[in-house]
Amino acid sequence: MLTTLNTSYTDTRAADLAWTLGLEPLSALATLDLELADTKLQLRLLGASHQVLIEREGGRCSETVACIPGSSTPLPLGVAKRIGDWEYEFAARVETLPPRSFAGRAQELLALVADHPHGLAGVFPGSPHAFTALLAQHHEGHVHWRTWHAYPQDGQLVATRTKVSARVTSLSPSAA
């Protein structure tokens, strides 16, 4: 799903993004509710940011990548955590591209997400290459989502990948 976000840019630089788990739902400009196997997701666009609400057996959680006032947790390159009965993995990278390459990559990503049944993208008025996009998938018992935050004024594209899966418990020697 592709939508135009009727708001001004709130996160103006890739360096302003922060990452956090467990925030309550923030005010969203657009949402997409999904059920992938045993997992309920809500993809949420928050200005130039995103939030994913996840619910599956074992609990609920949220991932937020946004300009969070008072946050001291910058966008990490990678995180691996246990959340209840889940394994959570997050990775992020920032690409800096020349203007022509940036425009082409922006068009590719928007085309990928816009017509995908598990995709949500929002573009900002005034620049067709200023957008936030999310794409969720389920594969082999894992729920994955990818996001892209585009900053055309700096030629920067922030890409994130998240995977959530049931925690694997090893068999005790007596059970084998």
pLDDT at residue 125, as a whole number: 82
Q: Which is more confident, 84 or 169?
A: 84
Report pLDDT for 33: 97
pLDDT of residue 3: 83
Higher pLDDT, 24 or 84: 24
Please give the full DSSP string across the chain, using - where no structure is assigned: -EEE--S--S--SGGG-EEEESPPPPP-SEEEEEEETTEEEEEEEETTEEEEEEEETTEEEEEEEE--TT---B--SEEEEEETTEEEEEEEEEEE--HHHHHHHHHHHHHHHHT-TTEEEEEETTEEEEEEEEEEEEETTEEEEEEEEEETTTTEEEEEEEEEEEPP-PPPGGG-
pTM, full prediction? 0.88
What is the total residue count of the chain?
176
pLDDT digits (tens, 9 = 90+) for 15-58: 888 899 999 999 999 999 999 988 899 999 987 789 999 998 77
pLDDT-derived band of residue 118, with 50, 70 and 90 as boundaries? Answer: very high
Q: Residue 4: is its pLDDT beyond 70? A: yes
